[in-house]
Amino acid sequence: MKKNKLGSMAIEEASDFFDEHDLFEIEGVREIKDIRFQLKKKKYIGVDLALYKKIRTRAKKLHIDESALIKEWLEEKVG
């Protein structure tokens, strides 16, 4: 099966495909043996629902995630 065909499958089609095939039968798929990443600690804060709705609306207009927008604004304020 070609890569582009697999990417355009519906969930049900992909499920049926993988019931009968192994992931490594697909061209270009390989096992990753060593992954390194660093987790960042995060602190979640409460935001008034009305304010959050305004932030969400602005983020949608800017085509970014609300968390990214809030982070950007906070970094501008606190340096």
Same domain, 70 and 52: yes
d(CA 1, CA 23): 11
Same domain, 19 and 47: no
Q: What pTM value is reported for the model?
A: 0.49
Same domain, 49 and 74: yes
Same domain, 29 and 45: no
Count Cβ neighbours within 10 Å for each residue of 33-62 and write b for 16 or more, e otherwise: eeeeeeeeeeeeeeeeeeeeeeeeeebeee
pLDDT in tens, 6-27: 567 788 887 888 888 877 777 7
**């970094």: which residue's tokens?**
75
Same domain, 76 and 45: yes
Give the count of beta carbons closer than 10 Å to the beta carbon of residue 64.
Answer: 13
Which range of residues forms the domain containing residue 11?
1-35
pLDDT in tens, 34-50: 888 888 898 889 999 99
Task: Give Cβ neighbours of residue 62 (< 8 Å, ≥ 6 apart).
Answer: 69
Please state, for a pLDDT cut of 70, what percent of the chain lies above it: 87
